[in-house]
């Protein structure tokens, strides 16, 4: 099954690389404000689905663009697909994007492939058998002091995102670490945590297809992944933190109070302790969706 997923990812990568040669000619449309989809997303998703169902017609598909309309829905085997994670990067010619494919069996991710077509980097993992980059075993970093750690993240960009909450999180993490990075493709961010290129990662607003494959890479590389309060059942909760075990614990300690699952007392203390960082009249979320609180 992993070999079939690799074949599917490489087929999608070939489509993406061909399109990248003339990215100005790619047709782009908007799903919502700042959320783009291209003909390349659709073509690469079709290639992945065709390859997977050609080998396993009895399996189900859960894909970013086409949802759950392909395959045998109700199957214990569900392929979770992001055909082009980092679409905004792609349409600008910024070479940080990837194909992400995971296989969940009875709700648990068992196989994972993340393919970076710009570098021909192939990240793979099978539950219980480790994580690999181009067939070389990878492990999370060994850093334990947050001051020496490089952390990746993703900025909120949709109407209704809580920008003030994110700015507070960013401020807390930036002051405690060696650096904060925002590459723009969450699946690749998680692969980089697994490979030890970064020491940790956090982001809100993510969908299952953004994190399914990366979650297995991280755990098979010896890391931990969960929601901001440290719970491991995070796949559909739209908040994610990952890292080597020591860094993960420290990030949960910082980010837990910002979780949608934090206690009422923790949230009240947060409002009292930290001032607004963006004046209400200039907050993007308030302007875009008319919500004076800039809520979730």
293 labelled binding-site residue: no
- Quote the pLDDT of residue 28: 80
> What share of the chain has pLDDT > 70, as a percent?
85
| Mean pLDDT on 267-281 | 54
Band the pLDDT of 290: cuts 50, 70, 90. very low
Question: When comparing pLDDT for 32 and 45, which is higher?
Answer: 45
- Quote the pLDDT of residue 37: 74
Question: When comparing pLDDT for 279 and 75, which is higher?
Answer: 75
Nearest Cα to Cα of residue 133 among 150, 112, 154: 112
Band the pLDDT of 293: cuts 50, 70, 90. very low
- Is 135 among the domain residues? no
Do 176 and 73 reside in the same domain of the chain?
no
| Mean pLDDT on 54-71 | 96
- Quote the pLDDT of residue 272: 55
Average pLDDT of the chain is 89
CATH number at residue 56: 3.30.540.10
Residue 288, pLDDT above cutoff 90: no
Band the pLDDT of 30: cuts 50, 70, 90. low
Do 151 and 260 reside in the same domain of the chain?
yes
What DSSP designation does 259 have?
Answer: S
Residue 86, pLDDT above cutoff 80: yes
| Mean pLDDT on 219-231 | 97
CATH number at residue 249: 3.40.190.80
Do 151 and 276 reside in the same domain of the chain?
yes
Give CA–CA dist 75/47, Å, rounded.
Answer: 21
Do 9 and 58 reside in the same domain of the chain?
yes
| Mean pLDDT on 30-43 | 72
- Is 85 among the domain residues? yes
Do 7 and 77 reside in the same domain of the chain?
yes
- Domain stop point among 119, 137, 169: 119
CB 203 within 8 A of CB 173: no
Please write the tens of the pLDDT for every residue from 108-142.
Answer: 999 999 999 999 999 999 999 999 999 999 999 99
Quick check: helix, strand or coil at residue 270? Answer: helix
172 labelled binding-site residue: no
- Is 184 among the domain residues? yes
Do 77 and 150 reside in the same domain of the chain?
no
- Quote the pLDDT of residue 296: 34
Q: How many domains does the chain have?
A: 2
Print the domain residue range for 204.
146-289
Give CA–CA dist 182/159, Å, rounded.
Answer: 19
82 labelled binding-site residue: yes
- Is 278 among the domain residues? yes
| Mean pLDDT on 98-115 | 98
Do 83 and 17 reside in the same domain of the chain?
yes
Please write the tens of the pLDDT for every residue from 159-186.
Answer: 667 788 899 999 999 999 999 999 999 9
- Is 27 among the domain residues? yes
- Quote the pLDDT of residue 156: 79
Band the pLDDT of 264: cuts 50, 70, 90. low
Question: What predicted TM-score, i.e. pTM, was given to this entire model?
Answer: 0.88
Do 159 and 285 reside in the same domain of the chain?
yes
156 contact partners, CB below 8 Å, separation of at least 6: 162, 163, 166, 204, 205
Do 167 and 40 reside in the same domain of the chain?
no
Do 271 and 152 reside in the same domain of the chain?
yes
Residue 292, pLDDT above cutoff 60: no
Residue 36, pLDDT above cutoff 80: no
Distances, alpha carbon 119 to alpha carbons 78, 122, 123, 133, 210, in Å: 28, 9, 12, 12, 20
Task: List strand residue ranges (DSSP E) for the chain, in order.
Answer: 28-32, 35-38, 60-63, 77-85, 98-105, 108-116, 121-126, 131-133, 136-138, 150-153, 179-181, 200-204, 224-226, 239-243
Do 90 and 151 reside in the same domain of the chain?
no
Distances, alpha carbon 274 to alpha carbons 146, 202, 267, 268, 286, in Å: 22, 20, 11, 10, 19
Do 112 and 161 reside in the same domain of the chain?
no
- Is 130 among the domain residues? no
- Is 138 among the domain residues? no
64 labelled binding-site residue: yes
Backbone dihedral region of 119: left (phi > 0), alpha (psi from -120 to 50 degrees) or beta? alpha
- Is 132 among the domain residues? no
Give CA–CA dist 52/1, Å, rounded.
Answer: 9
Nearest Cα to Cα of residue 212 among 26, 75, 78, 54: 78
Question: When comparing pLDDT for 66 and 263, which is higher?
Answer: 66
116 labelled binding-site residue: no
> What share of the chain has pLDDT > 90, as a percent?
77
């Amino acid at each position: 099954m992993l070999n079939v997923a690799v074949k599917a990812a490489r087929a999608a990568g070939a489509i993406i690389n061909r399109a990248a040669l003339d990215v100005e000619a790619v047709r782009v449309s908007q799903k919502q404000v700042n959320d783009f989809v291209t003909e390349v997303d659709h073509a690469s998703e079709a290639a992945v689905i065709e390859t997977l169902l050609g080998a396993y017609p009895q399996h189900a598909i859960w894909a970013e663009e086409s949802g759950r309309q392909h395959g045998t829905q109700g199957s214990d085997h569900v392929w979770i697909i992001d055909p082009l994670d980092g679409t905004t990067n792609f349409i600008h010619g910024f070479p940080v994007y990837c194909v992400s494919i995971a296989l969940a069996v009875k709700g648990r991710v068992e196989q994972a492939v993340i393919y970076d077509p710009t570098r021909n980097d192939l990240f793979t993992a099978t539950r219980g058998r480790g994580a690999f980059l181009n067939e070389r075993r990878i492990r999370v970093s060994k850093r334990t002091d947050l001051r020496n750690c490089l952390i990746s993240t993703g900025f909120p960009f949709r109407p209704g995102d809580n920008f003030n909450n994110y700015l507070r999180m960013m401020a807390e993490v930036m002051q405690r670490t060696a650096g904060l990075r925002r590459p723009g493709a969450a699946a690749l961010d998680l692969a980089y945590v697994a490979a030890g290129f970064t020491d940790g990662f956090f982001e809100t607003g993510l969908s299952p297809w953004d994190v399914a494959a990366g979650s297995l890479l991280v755990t098979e590389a010896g890391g931990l992944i969960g929601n901001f309060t440290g719970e491991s059942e995070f796949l559909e909760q739209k908040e994610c933190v990952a890292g080597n075990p020591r860094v993960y614990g420290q990030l949960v300690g910082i980010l837990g109070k910002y979780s949608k699952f934090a206690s009422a007392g923790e949230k009240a203390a947060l409002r009292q302790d930290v001032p607004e960082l963006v004046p209400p009249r200039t907050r993007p979320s308030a302007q875009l969706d008319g919500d004076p609180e800039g809520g979730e």
